[in-house]
Amino acid sequence: MAADEIDYEALAARLTDPEVETVAQRELYGEEAAAHGRALLLREYGSEEALKASLRPGRPKLSIRKP
């Protein structure tokens, strides 16, 4: 398996293992939720440039929408 491939069998085993503790965090709303989501994406993609490069043309921008 290549380094960038996901082992879905291992992931499913981990998610269904009763010995693995899952913890709920408090609910986030509004700008706090947007900031948390943005931080998560930056951790996953590693940089702002990598995050922008991963978005296909035509997909919505990752930003806070104002009504």
CA 4 to chain centre: 15
22-45: burial string, b at 16+ Cβ within 10 Å, e else: eeeeeeeeeeeeeeeeeeeeeeee
Q: H-type helices in the chain, by residue range?
A: 8-16, 30-45, 48-54
Q: Quote the CA–CA distance of 11 and 45 in Å, as a whole number.
A: 19
- State pLDDT tens for residues 28-66: 999 999 999 999 999 988 888 888 877 766 666 666 666
Residue with tokens 């951790």: 43
With bands split at pLDDT 50, 70 and 90, how would you rate the model's confidence at 26?
confident
Q: Quote the CA–CA distance of 9 and 36 in Å, as a whole number.
A: 28
